């Protein structure tokens, strides 16, 4: 089996779901797949899904790695707000685009380092450790913006939110590039396997000589970096840093995207591509409800339903019952999952 | 000193010290008026934090409570607007509904063996979504009975008002303490937090207890919703976003171990009051901005989590030292 | 001992797990007023037998009579109400509850629906007074020593069951004084007519407290004897001694390599785990470690490998100091370690056979230098062939393989790093006969190729078969070293069974 085939098999359920959602939307909203070009940029509902889904997609990249280590990062929404605020404050102070971006991203990495140290060095449960920054983070962001929505009109920074390159909106390019880059880094190097190993069995991995502590910190730092990227895009999109609302509850969407992507909350095997498709499924549902004329409030109920379905599918009790009936198939699937590289 | 009560003591010391600092700067803060307001303003948070205390003591978490409060408000407002039902009937219906909602989450957590975090996340989405479905706009509550409820208060010496909802919160705390420390259910909650497997071996009815814990949390979230509707005279589906985080923070600052098994309901009351005090101080000061609340709460969270971690570590070190003796053969 | 009807009478109890027979037709009788010791190494079937008696496992065959009536408890709670209570080494109580709550959990005295804490404390105090324990019962259980917790656990078990008390290694974490206190409690219960099953790997304690002894080995009953009719040497022989049907060599290997030691450990130890010891490791030599469970043999391995880093002494490699502060240090020094508990410390269950094999090598190379996919596949295929790992292919999750094949994957993981010093902790435990022989052959083959090995085993004839030298460990001390022809099961048994005074 080739690598491409293996990946396809792994993400097939997610792809089918996405296709079903998109098909459903196209049924009620015939013009859905129409794409037009204006001002050198693609427009259309389908493009909109890719564009609007950028923050959650970016967060999902880091969250996938964190969840693969059997952790969780609740702080990403707050980190988005912080780095967005840092970017806005930096650009308005006039230090230029490149230092601004560097500053915002370093801020995100620093937040990740903080989480990583709490988890890997102090040994605090991830959900507890990252809760601290989730609570305090928005306060820190407001401290930077001094409570106001810090607006800016630096063309270069705004470009990251609403600009386009070769017709493709920048946010889309950024999450695609980030997803591709992180996937390549973890799968072309040994990181992917080492992360999965510590997620499955931390003690055995340490005994095999894996430096779990450093790896854990690096994973949380990656999550912080992804959150910072998302924060910059969110700020650039509205031309301002809104410390109160930037990235609000997106950590939950990101976790949902990872779970929809089939990565278990119990750690181990992960697939960034599947998480990205998961993020797009969530965004497609959002957009679809808007387009279909349903009140947007149905969105949350649908999300709740999605979680319930996944809960049932992933539940250990249900799994054992199912495995009892189709043992052969289950082992075949397990085999298929191990090939993903 | 008992390691279990140390976080509670720390909470009390922090509260008293903070109050002392406030008093030195603003002597007016030590008045029954301020205390009365503190209780009234934080009544809904306090009530829901009692439920959260039980959930966290058992080693779980309930993310749905903020949404359930918002749902409750909208539910009451819409029913009072569209039907001729008496508020008390509506309250009873609501409490049954939220209790069943909590029980259902507890049942899913137990039977599907899934982490409470993700199950109650679904509950959070569902409750908020249902609130939206009932009404997107803020629905004002105008009912004579509500005016009556709001008019109920006891004037404390110093002209401070102990309002009905403040009194309800205190009553819930007293009831919570009795349930936690004086009933078999309460002991079972602590037992689950000490270790589900061991608790099961010792005969704790794990399924029943889990369902009841989340049902209790759902019930108190509903009650908190009622209190919040009395407090604001309206039902709004966008209200009380993030209250679950405040409740969790209050519980942890109140000295309860976030991983379960150790803590006191009384501590949560102090935790709520500390959070209220920070806000009151900021209002009195006038120049400080509201975001300091979040930052200070974050710092307190960090301090308590590290304190708890340190205590756990100390206990295990002591255990190790005890075991470190010579094999113990003769 | 009363000769009337036994309190507990189990016949032909059988329990199988996929791939292994954990209990093979074991008989066991317990009289009231008797302390009956149950002995055997890890995997001998002790805990399986206990779990069948207490309902934690459902037995596959055999009969259990309690007071002459057949019983078949579905869980421990049912066994408890029938009269069988158990106390485990890791105290099975809730450390975050008070002593009184632990004693009364589930049947607290209530008034008007509220627990009467005064009545609860009073009854707890009364209960504990019977055991000579006068403590503040309102304090949390974890504020007391393990010994006190152990007595509380016994008090709870006895008050709930009251016929049979099973003590599963209750003394493992107690000091001498605490053991005495516990034994006073056990004697008092015996006087009250309880039947007590006592599991321990401390032979002195067994001889001190027991009336009869039952020895299990490899899931089979070796024998039951009255304590007066057996001595220590005979007992150790029953537990570890050779299995007669298997033809092995008489004494250890004498072709010990000459020359300088490769790695020297001097005064190497870890407080509370293993007393400082000296050890020289030569290339091409197998050093066996013999001792009973809990004697310090696993602790020796873990200290050498840096899992619990040494806090005294030093290691040197050809005269140069060798730092061993963590497993990573040890691996950098060319060490490998297959731990005893494969499931929790060894394999990464969800990862494939291939990934489990490359893991240690990959960890040593660092994440930036991945082993190329083709090389990984080739390496996995080679080891699957060479070690005869039974798996449909290299991509099967290792958690789905049998114990013996998992052990071979663990060996392959370390062989892939080409270590010069390999530590194996019970490499043949819990695996089938075929794989057993293959692993022994592999140990000899690796040794012949110049690797140094340290092998811990409770199969003494196995140690005789491949060791050049054997270290005997007892009470967390290295007490004897046998070389070449001195290595016989008898000598090892004698060294393990010897009194500490005699050895010093």
The pLDDT tens digits of the residues spanning C384-409 come to: 988 888 888 888 888 888 778 888 89
CB contact under 8 A, A209 and C368: no
pLDDT of B55: 96
Residue pairs between chains A and B whose CB atoms are closer than 8 Å: 128
**Residues B33-74 pLDDT 10s:** 888 989 999 999 999 999 999 999 999 999 999 999 999 999
pLDDT of C217: 84
Whole-angstrom distance, CA of residue A302 vs CA of residue A24: 14
pLDDT of B300: 86
Whole-angstrom distance, CA of residue A138 vs CA of residue A190: 36
Q: Is B109 within a domain?
A: yes
CB contact under 8 A, B261 and C96: yes
Q: Which chains touch B (3+ CB pairs under 8 A)?
A: A, C
Whole-angstrom distance, CA of residue C299 vs CA of residue C315: 16
Question: Does A231 score more than 90 pLDDT?
Answer: yes
pLDDT of B330: 28
pLDDT band at C201 (very low <50, low <70, confident <90, very high): confident
3-state secondary structure B15-48: HHHHHHHHHHHCHHHCCHHHHHHHHHHCHHHHHH
Distance to chain A for C393, nearest Cα, Å: 9
Question: Does B16 score more than 60 pLDDT?
Answer: yes
Mean pLDDT (chain C) is 85
B210-219 average pLDDT score: 96
Going by the DSSP 8-state scheme, the letter that residue A70 receives in this structure is T
pLDDT of C492: 87
Of residues A264 and A340, more confidently modeled: A264
The B residues from 48 to 107 touching A (CB cutoff 8 Å) are: 61
A22 touches chain B (CB under 8 A): no
The total domain count for chain B is 1
Determine the topology of domain C8-96+140-230 in CATH: Rossmann fold (3.40.50)
Question: Does B224 score more than 50 pLDDT?
Answer: yes
Question: Does A295 score more than 50 pLDDT?
Answer: yes
Q: Where are the domains of chain C?
A: 8-96+140-230, 248-334+419-504, 348-418
Q: Which residues of A touch B108 (CB under 8 A)?
A: 308, 311
C171 touches chain B (CB under 8 A): yes
CB C68: neighbour CB atoms within 10 A? 9
Q: Which of A206, A210, A339 lies closest to C395 in CB terms?
A: A339
What superfamily does domain C248-334+419-504 belong to in CATH? Answer: P-loop containing nucleotide triphosphate hydrolases (3.40.50.300)
The enclosing H or E element of A12 equals helix A3-28
**Which residue do the tokens 């917790």 mark?**
C149
Range of the domain at A286: 3-338
Q: Is B122 within a domain?
A: yes
Q: Where are the beta strands (DSSP E) in C108-172?
A: 110-111, 114-115, 164-168
Is the four-CA dihedral C76, C94, B102, B61 of positive or negative sign?
negative
Residue pairs between chains B and C whose CB atoms are closer than 8 Å: 107
CB contact under 8 A, A200 and C370: no
pLDDT of A325: 57
CB contact under 8 A, C364 and A209: yes
Whole-angstrom distance, CA of residue C30 vs CA of residue C471: 37
Whole-angstrom distance, CA of residue B321 vs CA of residue A289: 61
Is C194 within 8 Å of C86 (Cβ atoms)? no
Q: Which residues of C touch A190 (CB under 8 A)?
A: 362, 365-371
- Output b/e per residue, A237-261; b: 16+ Cβ within 10 A: bbbbbbbeebbbebbbbbbbbbbbb
Q: ipTM strictly over 0.90?
A: no
C158 touches chain A (CB under 8 A): no
A318 touches chain B (CB under 8 A): yes
Provide the edge-to-edge strand list for the sheet that holds C84-87: C84-87, C164-168, C195-199, C34-39, C212-217, C220-226
**Residues A130-181 pLDDT 10s:** 988 988 898 899 888 887 888 888 888 888 888 888 888 899 999 999 999 9
C436 touches chain A (CB under 8 A): no
Q: Do domains C8-96+140-230 and C248-334+419-504 have the same CATH topology?
A: yes
Residue pairs between chains A and C whose CB atoms are closer than 8 Å: 92
Reduced to 3 states (helix: H, G, I; strand: E, B; else coil), residue C66 is strand
The enclosing H or E element of A318 equals helix A316-325
CB contact under 8 A, C97 and B191: yes
Q: Which residues of B touch C176 (CB under 8 A)?
A: 326, 328-330
C97 touches chain B (CB under 8 A): yes
Going by the DSSP 8-state scheme, the letter that residue C250 receives in this structure is S
Q: Is B289 within a domain?
A: yes
The total domain count for chain A is 1
Q: Is B35 within a domain?
A: yes
pLDDT of C433: 67
Is A218 within 8 Å of A143 (Cβ atoms)? no
pLDDT of B250: 93
A257 touches chain B (CB under 8 A): no
Distance to chain C for B243, nearest Cα, Å: 29
Cβ neighbourhood burial of C298 (10 Å; 0-12, 13-18, 19+): buried
Whole-angstrom distance, CA of residue A83 vs CA of residue C300: 50
Is C496 within 8 Å of C292 (Cβ atoms)? yes
Q: In CATH, what number is assigned to the domain containing residue B49? A: 1.10.3470
Q: Which residues of A touch B112 (CB under 8 A)?
A: 311-312, 315, 317-318
Whole-angstrom distance, CA of residue C10 vs CA of residue C29: 6
């Amino acid at each position: 089996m080739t690598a491409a085939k293996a990946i396809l098999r792994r993400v097939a359920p997610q792809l089918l779901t996405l296709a079903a959602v998109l098909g459903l939307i196209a049924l009620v909203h015939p013009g859905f797949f129409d794409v037009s070009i204006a001002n050198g940029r693609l427009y259309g509902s389908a493009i909109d899904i890719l564009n609007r889904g950028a923050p959650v997609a970016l967060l999902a990249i880091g969250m996938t790695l964190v969840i693969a280590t059997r952790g969780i990062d609740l702080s990403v929404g707050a980190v988005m707000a912080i780095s967005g605020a840092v970017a806005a404050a930096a650009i308005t102070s006039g230090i230029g685009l490149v230092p601004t971006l560097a500053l915002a991203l370093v801020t995100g990495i620093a937040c990740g380092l903080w989480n990583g140290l709490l988890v890997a060095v102090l040994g605090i449960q991830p959900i507890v450790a990252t809760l601290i920054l989730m609570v305090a983070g928005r306060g820190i962001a407001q401290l930077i913006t001094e409570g106001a929505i810090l607006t800016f009109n630096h063309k270069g920074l705004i470009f990251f939110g609403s600009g386009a390159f070769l017709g493709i909106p920048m946010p889309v390019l950024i999450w695609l590039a980030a997803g591709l880059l992180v996937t390549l880094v973890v799968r072309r190097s040994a990181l992917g396997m080492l992360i999965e190993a510590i997620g499955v069995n931390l003690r055995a991995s340490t005994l095999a000589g894996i430096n779990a502590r450093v790896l854990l910190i690096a994973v949380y730092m990656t999550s912080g970096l992804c959150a910072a990227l998302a924060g910059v895009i969110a700020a650039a999109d509205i031309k301002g840093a809104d410390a109160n609302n930037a990235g609000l509850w997106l950590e939950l969407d990101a976790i949902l995207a990872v779970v929809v992507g089939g990565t278990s909350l119990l750690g181990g095997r992960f697939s960034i591509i599947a998480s990205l498709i998961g993020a797009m499924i969530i965004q497609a549902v959002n957009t679809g409800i808007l387009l279909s004329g349903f009140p947007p409030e149905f969105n949350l109920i649908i999300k709740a339903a999605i979680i319930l379905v996944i809960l049932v599918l992933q539940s250990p009790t249900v799994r054992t019952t199912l495995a009892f009936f189709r043992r052969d198939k289950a082992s075949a699937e397990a085999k298929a999952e191990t090939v993903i590289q | 000193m008992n390691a279990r009560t140390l976080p509670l003591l720390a909470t009390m010391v922090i509260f008293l010290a903070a109050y002392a600092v406030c008093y030195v700067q603003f002597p007016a803060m030590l008045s029954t008026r301020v205390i009365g307001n503190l209780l009234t303003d934080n009544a809904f948070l306090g009530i829901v934090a009692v439920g959260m205390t039980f959930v966290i003591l058992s080693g779980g978490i309930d993310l749905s409570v903020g949404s359930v409060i918002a749902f409750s408000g909208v539910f009451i407002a819409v029913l009072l607007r569209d039907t001729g039902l008496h508020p008390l009937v509506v309250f009873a219906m609501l409490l049954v509904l939220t209790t069943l909602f909590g029980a259902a989450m507890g049942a899913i957590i137990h039977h599907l063996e899934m982490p409470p975090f993700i199950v109650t996340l679904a509950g959070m989405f569902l409750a908020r979504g249902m609130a939206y479905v009932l009404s997107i706009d803020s629905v004002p509550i105008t009912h004579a009975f509500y005016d009556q409820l709001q008019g109920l208060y006891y004037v404390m010496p110093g002209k401070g008002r102990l309002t009905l909802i403040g009194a309800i919160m205190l009553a819930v705390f007293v009831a919570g303490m009795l349930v936690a420390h004086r009933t078999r259910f309460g002991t079972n909650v602590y037992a689950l937090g000490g270790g589900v497997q061991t608790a099961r071996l010792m005969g704790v009815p794990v399924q029943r207890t889990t369902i009841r814990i989340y049902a209790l949390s759902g019930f108190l979230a509903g009650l908190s919703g009622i209190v919040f509707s009395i407090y604001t005279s309206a039902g709004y589906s966008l209200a009380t976003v993030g209250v679950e985080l405040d409740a969790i923070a209050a519980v942890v600052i109140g000295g309860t171990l976030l991983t379960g098994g150790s803590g006191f309901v009384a501590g949560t009351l102090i935790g709520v009051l500390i959070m209220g005090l920070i806000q009151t101080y900021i209002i009195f000061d006038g120049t400080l901005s509201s975001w300091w609340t979040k930052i200070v709460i974050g710092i307190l969270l960090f301090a308590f989590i590290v304190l708890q971690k340190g205590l756990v570590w100390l206990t295990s070190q002591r255990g190790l030292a005890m075991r470190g003796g010579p094999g113990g053969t003769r | 001992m009363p000769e009337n009807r036994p309190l507990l009478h189990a016949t032909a109890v059988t329990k199988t797990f996929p791939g292994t027979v954990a209990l093979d037709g074991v008989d066991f009788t317990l009289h009231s007023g008797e302390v009956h010791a149950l002995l055997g190494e890890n995997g001998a079937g002790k805990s399986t037998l206990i779990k069948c008696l207490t309902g934690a496992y459902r037995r596959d065959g055999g009969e259990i009579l309690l007071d002459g009536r057949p019983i078949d408890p579905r869980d421990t709670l049912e066994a408890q109400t029938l009269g069988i209570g158990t106390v485990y080494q890791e105290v099975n109580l809730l450390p975050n509850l008070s002593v009184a709550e632990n004693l009364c959990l589930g049947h607290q005295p209530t008034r008007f629906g509220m627990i009467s804490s005064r009545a609860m404390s009073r009854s707890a105090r009364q209960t504990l007074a019977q055991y000579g324990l006068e403590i503040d019962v309102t304090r949390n259980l974890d504020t007391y020593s393990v010994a006190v917790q152990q007595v509380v656990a016994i008090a709870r078990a006895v008050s709930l069951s009251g016929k049979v008390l099973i003590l599963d290694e209750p003394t493992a974490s107690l000091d001498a004084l605490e053991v005495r206190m516990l034994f006073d409690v056990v004697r008092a219960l015996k006087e009250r007519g309880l039947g007590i099953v006592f599991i321990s790997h401390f032979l002195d304690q067994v001889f001190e407290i027991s009336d009869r002894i039952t020895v299990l080995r490899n899931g089979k009953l070796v024998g039951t004897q009255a304590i007066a009719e057996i001595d220590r040497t005979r007992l150790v022989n029953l537990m570890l001694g050779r299995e007669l049907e298997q033809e092995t060599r008489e004494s250890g290997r004498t072709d010990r390599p000459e020359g300088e030691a490769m790695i020297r450990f001097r005064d190497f130890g870890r407080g509370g785990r293993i007393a400082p010891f000296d050890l020289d490791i030569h290339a091409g030599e197998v050093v066996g470690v013999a001792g009973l469970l809990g004697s310090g043999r696993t602790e020796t391995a873990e200290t050498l490998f840096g899992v619990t880093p040494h806090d005294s002494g030093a290691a040197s490699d050809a005269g140069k100091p060798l730092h061993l502060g963590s497993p990573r240090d040890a691996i950098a020094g060319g060490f490998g370690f297959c731990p005893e508990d494969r499931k929790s410390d060894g394999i990464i269950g969800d990862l494939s056979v291939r990934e489990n094999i490359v893991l240690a090598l990959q960890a040593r190379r660092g994440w930036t230098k991945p082993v190329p996919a083709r090389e990984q596949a080739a390496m996995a295929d080679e080891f699957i062939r060479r070690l005869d790992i039974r798996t449909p292919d290299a991509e099967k999750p290792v958690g789905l393989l049998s114990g013996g094949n998992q052990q071979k994957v663990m060996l392959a993981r370390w062989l892939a790093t080409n270590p010069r010093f390999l530590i194996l902790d019970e490499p043949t435990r819990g695996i089938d006969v075929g794989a057993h022989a293959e692993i022994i052959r592999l140990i000899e083959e690796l040794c012949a190729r110049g690797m140094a090995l340290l092998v811990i085993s409770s199969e003494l004839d196995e140690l005789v078969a491949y060791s050049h030298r054997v270290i005997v460990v007892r009470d967390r001390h290295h007490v004897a070293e046998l070389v070449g022809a001195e290595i016989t099961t008898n000598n090892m048994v004698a060294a393990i069974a010897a009194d500490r005074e005699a050895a010093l």
